[in-house]
Amino acid sequence: MSKFSDEFRAGYALLADYLIPAYNGKPAASAVGVHLAMLDEVMRIRPDLEAGFRRAVEACSGKAVSDALNALARSDAAAFGALTTVTTGGYMMTDEARAAVGYPGQDAAPFDAHAVPEYVTNGMLDRVIQRGPIFRDTKGLKT
């Protein structure tokens, strides 16, 4: 059983589409399902956002979206932050959104702990090494 009702999800979809509308061939937030299974996945990953997220959606319910979001941003920054984090995070977790913006997702870069990095051998650090250490005592400085 889902912790979000269909009515709640529909209200969230309106807000999400205002935050991330369809534009220039890129899908709107609800088109990639941020209000459906992706919402449950974001809440599984970030349960700390649920209270603020719920507060945001409920505060905007039944109001003109633009006015409601602007009022929320002024009156409850934490709830607005939770709403925008859940929306953008859920959006970028979908294959459709990542493909639309040209982001392949995280990639594990190979790393050899025993290899000497190129910047050590190509001369980039020579000036710094020749200059030597620089120390400035900041205890007496006033801000």
SS3 for 17-45 is HHHCCCECCECCCHHHCCCCHHHHHHHHH
Of the listed ranges 14-28, 45-59, 108-122, the least confidently predicted one is 108-122
Across the chain, mean pLDDT equals 93
pLDDT digits (tens, 9 = 90+) for 55-64: 999 999 999 9
Residue 18 domain-assigned (yes or no): yes
**Within 10 A of 110 (CB to CB), how many other CB atoms are there?**
5
pLDDT digits (tens, 9 = 90+) for 86-117: 999 999 999 999 999 998 888 888 888 999 98
- Region 26-36: mean pLDDT is 97
Tell me, yes or no, whether 110 lies in a domain. Answer: no
Q: What range defines the domain where residue 83 resides? A: 6-101
**46 within a domain of the structure (yes/no):** yes
pLDDT above 80: residue 2: no
Residue 74 lies in a domain: yes
In the chain, what percentage of residues exceed pLDDT 90? 77
Q: Kindly indicate the confidence band of residue 33, based on its pLDDT and cuts at 50, 70 and 90.
A: very high
Residue 39 lies in a domain: yes
- Check whether 45 has a pLDDT greater than 80: yes
Are residues 57 and 104 in contact, defined by beta-carbon separation less than 8 angstroms?
no
What's the domain count of the chain? 1
User: Confidence band (pLDDT; 50, 70, 90) for 5?
Assistant: very high
Q: Is residue 139 part of a domain?
A: no
pLDDT band at 120 (very low <50, low <70, confident <90, very high): confident
In this structure, is residue 78 part of a structural domain? yes
Instruction: Name the helix (H) or strand (E) containing 129.
Output: helix 126-131
Please give the Cα distance from 23 to 138 (Å, whole number).
50
In a domain, 118, yes or no: no
Asked whether 60 and 11 are in contact (CB, 8 A), the reply is yes
